[in-house]
Amino acid sequence: MSSAAEQEAVAGERATGDGRPTVVVDDARPAPAPVSTVSVRPGRPMPLGARFRVGPDGVAGTNFALWAGGAEGVELCLFDERGRETRARLTELTHEIWHGFVPGVLPGRRYGYRVHGRWDPWTGARWNPAKLLLDPYARAVDGDFALPAEVYGHVRDWPEQHVADTVRDDRDSAPYVPKGVVVHDDDDWADDHRPKTPWADSVIYELHVKGFTRRHPGVPEELRGTYAGLAHPAAIEHLVKLGVTAVELLPVHQFAHEDHLLRRGLRNYWGYNSIGYFAPHAGYAASGTTGQQVGEFKRMVRALHAAGIEVILDVVYNHTAEAGELGPTLSLKGIDNRGYYRLQPDARRYADYTGCGNTLHVVQPHVLRLITDSLRYWVTEMGVDGFRFDLAAALARSMHDVDMLSPFLAVIAQDPVLRRVKLIAEPWDVGSGGYQVGAFPPLWTEWNDRYRDAVRDFWRHALPDVREMGYRLSGSSDLYAWGGRRPYASVNYVTAHDGFTLRDLVSYDRKHNEANGEGNRDGTDGNRSWNCGAEGETQDEGVRALRRRQLRNLLTTLLLSTGVPMLVAGDEMGRTQGGNNNAYCQDNETGWVDWSLLDDPGWKALFELASRLIALRHRHPVLRRRAFFSGRAHSADGLRDLAWFTPRGAEMTEGDWYAPAATLGMYLSGRDIPGRDERGAPVLDDSFLAVLHAGDGPVDFVLPGPPWAERYEVVVDTGREEQASEPGTVHRAGTSITVPGRTVLLLRVR
């Protein structure tokens, strides 16, 4: 059936339960696959998914269990090595879970489901047994989603697109979709030792499994771009030298590529298009895709743990790859569309709080169970240490509005496994009232975009005053000092995967996303960037030197700020995407880390500065406080834990905070750190004065005298390309020093 005319010729009307007409294309059902000759025993309704086990009679097989509320029937579809399909009906139904135990089905066997029910898009019912569906609980996935017309539950190319989603397509999708794989849970974590890094001591490094190792010269070619590649000693060596305590992996759940990208010859690189919440993405496996990817992922986690590095997953539970009513039918849409997705009042269309076409209906108990089962699986069986939740505000919505007492947040708070791991919210979605920075409850940390914006604006000299900068440097108490939250509730970042790289932030005023094929319309225009006098790459040595200085300023500011710093892979050595601020579809050298940058003395010096700053942070608890500053004097000499100074060497007044300024002095006292060490002794540290000067020209800064200090030693000077490893210049308190334009000085109190 190829032309619109042919489609229209065979279309007919079928009455639905409430009398609305619906159209079915090619109503002649495909020839059924052979019915299983192997008996299907009743099995168990729990746990969900495909679980290999040995029955009470000693016979090995697999128990299959699928929640499919409202369905009229479920067929289990088994596939042999040649792709031949055998179907077996699951006849047991317990609390809307269809289940059965099939003897002889061993690990490595591929499978899927066909779910029977009404086709009535007008009421949200989109069952279509012609479409092979991926098990939501599949622990491994074999194959890739090519998204031809056959994988759509409706006729994708129906000439009248405004009603296309109501025209059912009865062509078989099995030849075109990946299959779930039965996996044997035989792994033991007895030899794994989780680092369990406290939040306040954490330094996060956001990376892409493929992009981080794809061009790494020390990783064998056959392992580049894979879990095994990230586990390779050459990859881990860089992380250890840099000093980060955790990697935050861009999505590794099985995902699909969007149809509009495939049509343009592109692919979804970032992976924010999940379709399998239990399966490691098969495209990152070097060892095989019929279950081997599970073991490879676990070995990667073990290797990182052995190096003292935690593993945090960026997870996308807010939407799936099935998009809206015009999207493909791959899994949940064909299992129970109304049960899994938020629908608009007319039930035919989707409520979209994500900008991706659909939103999971987390208020529904079975959807909440799917998410929490997935989270617990990755912690207990895959060994991960935490999660960053994409568009977390969408998960916190009750019926419509964002609700910090929502079922999702309540379940996480009481779960004995999940409440113990690191939980990071991207605290917004695209719906009304979706911006929730500072609103998530205790246990949660948040990506702090107000930190990002303030630091970017300060260093391009675009802040009207320094009030915002003061809050961000000192832990964002205005956002997080409530309900028992601590400074580490703020994940501080200047760049993330989404947006300019750090180098591009100081090299481009405008985005350059032409390679994405969307007319440069995609990606934000609000970059808060400054190109330092030339757009893009230039041979002007003055511009190049200023850009490197700005990079040093941004890195130094980030790693001296109170809160949890997050770096993006490659920013520590000047990675560029050529001005592309939305490289989600650039699975190529644009998106991959360029390791040859470390051969350039200038970029190697940047890496060494980043490593030195992280080491400084690890050594000094005053830079990673577990409680907010009080700003009050705790001793007779009037010394406070935090003080702010103007270039005159005087403490800032209320008026100084509101006045235009490009210079800020921040004094951190090591004498007044709350809490005690593991032995119960007071925590004492050096005291520091940080001087941040964003003006073009030099400024004279008077170093505060007693009781603050008698002498100061320069520890970091971003005006220098190379940082001295030996003790720096010592200045007497009360003297005036000249701070060059666009410079950070960090001075230790002597």
560-586 pLDDT per residue, tens? 999 999 999 999 999 999 999 999 999
Q: What is the mean pLDDT of residues 267-272?
A: 97
> Under 8 Å CB-to-CB from 508, ≥6 apart: which residues?
500, 527, 529, 531, 535, 536, 579
The yes-or-no verdict on residue 29 having pLDDT over 60 is no
The yes-or-no verdict on residue 382 having pLDDT over 80 is yes
CB 151 within 8 A of CB 174: no
Residue 415 CB neighbour total at 10 angstroms: 15
Q: Which two tokens stand for residue 373?
A: 């089962």
pLDDT digits (tens, 9 = 90+) for 305-362: 999 999 999 999 999 999 999 999 999 999 999 999 999 999 999 999 999 999 999 9
Q: What is the DSSP letter of 1?
A: -
Question: Among residues of the chain, what percentage have pLDDT more than 70?
Answer: 94
pTM to 2 decimals? 0.95
CA distances from 631 to 307, 386, 628 (A): 38, 33, 9
pLDDT digits (tens, 9 = 90+) for 479-500: 999 988 999 999 999 999 999 9
Q: Helix H segments across 272-350?
A: 292-306, 332-340
pLDDT digits (tens, 9 = 90+) for 639-649: 889 999 999 99
Residue linked to tokens 């409850």: 441
CA distances from 478 to 441, 450, 457, 690 (A): 15, 11, 19, 21
DSSP H helix total and E strand total for the chain: 17, 32
Q: Flag the least confident range among 39-48, 300-309, 625-634.
A: 625-634
Is 390 in the active site? Answer: yes
CA nearest to 253, candidates 280, 291, 219? 280
Q: What is the mean pLDDT of residues 49-67?
A: 94
Q: Which two tokens stand for residue 532?
A: 């330092």
Q: Which of 325, 336, 385, 426 is catalytic?
A: 426
The yes-or-no verdict on residue 6 having pLDDT over 90 is no
Q: Helix H segments across 125-249?
A: 209-213, 227-231, 233-242
Identify the structural domains of the chain with CATH numbers, from first to last: 49-182 (2.60.40.10), 199-499+562-570 (3.20.20.80), 630-749 (2.60.40.1180)
Determine the 3-state secondary structure of 480 from DSSP. helix
> Under 8 Å CB-to-CB from 607, ≥6 apart: which residues?
242, 572, 573, 598
CB 247 within 8 A of CB 205: yes
Confidence of residue 632 (pLDDT cuts 50, 70, 90): confident
Q: What is the mean pLDDT of residues 153-173?
A: 97
CA distances from 604 to 184, 241, 510, 601 (A): 45, 12, 27, 5
Determine the 3-state secondary structure of 634 from DSSP. coil
CB 675 within 8 A of CB 641: no
Q: Which two tokens stand for residue 119?
A: 């086709």
Confidence of residue 11 (pLDDT cuts 50, 70, 90): very low
Confidence of residue 24 (pLDDT cuts 50, 70, 90): low
Is 426 in the active site? Answer: yes
Residue linked to tokens 């729990």: 46
Q: Which of 150, 390, 504, 686 is catalytic?
A: 390
**Cα–Cα distance between 411 and 417 in angstroms, integer?**
11
**Cα–Cα distance between 277 and 255 in angstroms, integer?**
9
CB 597 within 8 A of CB 502: no
Residue 116 CB neighbour total at 10 angstroms: 14
The yes-or-no verdict on residue 60 having pLDDT over 60 is yes
Q: Which two tokens stand for residue 616?
A: 């400084």
pLDDT digits (tens, 9 = 90+) for 95-152: 999 999 999 999 999 999 999 999 999 999 999 999 999 999 999 999 988 899 999 9
pLDDT digits (tens, 9 = 90+) for 713-725: 999 999 998 887 6
The yes-or-no verdict on residue 680 having pLDDT over 90 is no
Helix, strand, coil distribution of the chain in percent, nearest 5: 25, 20, 50
**Cα–Cα distance between 183 and 141 in angstroms, integer?**
10
Determine the 3-state secondary structure of 676 from DSSP. strand
* Mean of pLDDT over the chain: 93
| Maximal C-alpha separation, the chain | 92
**Cα–Cα distance between 69 and 369 in angstroms, integer?**
14
Confidence of residue 19 (pLDDT cuts 50, 70, 90): very low
What is the predicted pLDDT for the residue at 470? 97
Long-range contacts of 533-540 (CB under 8 A, 24+ apart): 535/507, 535/508, 535/509, 535/510, 536/507, 536/508, 536/512, 536/578, 536/579, 537/507
CB 21 within 8 A of CB 163: no
